Amino acid sequence: MSETSKQPENEKIYFHAILHPHRSLGTKGFLILMIFVFVVLLGVSLYFWSLGAWPVIGFAGLDLLALYWAFRINYRDARTRERILLTRESLILTKMPVKGKEVSFQCNPYWARLITEEQDEEGMTRLCLISHGKSLEIGPFLNAPDRESLARALQAALLLVKQPPMPS
| Contact partners, residue 23, CB within 8 Å, separation at least 6 | 74, 75, 78
Q: Are residues 68 and 147 in the same domain?
A: no
63: buried, middle or exposed (CB in 10 Å: 19+, 13-18, 0-12)?
middle
135 shares a domain with 97 = yes
Q: Is the pLDDT of residue 138 over 80?
A: yes
Domain end call among 36, 57, 77? 77
Q: Which residue has the higher pLDDT, 165 or 108?
A: 108
For the chain, what is the mean pLDDT?
89
pTM for the structure as a whole: 0.75
What is the per-residue pLDDT for 7? 52
Higher pLDDT pick, 16 / 100: 16
pLDDT of residue 3: 42
- Positive or negative, the CA dihedral 104, 98, 135, 155 is negative
Q: What are phi and psi of 84, to 5 degrees?
A: -120, 125
What pLDDT score was predicted for residue 5?
45
**Model pLDDT, residue 9:** 61
> In terms of residue numbers, what domain contains 46?
27-77
Same structural domain, 70 and 119: no
48 Cβ contact list (under 8 Å, min separation 6) = 54, 56, 57
**Nearest Cα to Cα of residue 92 among 100, 83, 101, 80:** 83
Q: Per-residue pLDDT tens for 28-40?
A: 999 999 999 999 9
Lowest mean pLDDT among 1-5, 40-44, 97-101: 1-5
Same domain flag for 110 and 135: yes
CATH of the domain at 132: 2.30.29.30
CA torsion angle 52 58 63 65 (round to 10): 150
Residue percentage of the chain with pLDDT more than 70: 93
Residues 98 and 72: their CA atoms lie apart, in Å, by: 13
Q: Say if residue 69's pLDDT is above 60.
A: yes
| Count of structural domains within the chain | 2
Query: pLDDT at position 2, please?
Result: 41
Residues 44-68: pLDDT tens digits?
Answer: 999 999 999 999 999 999 999 999 9
Average pLDDT over residues 66-80: 92
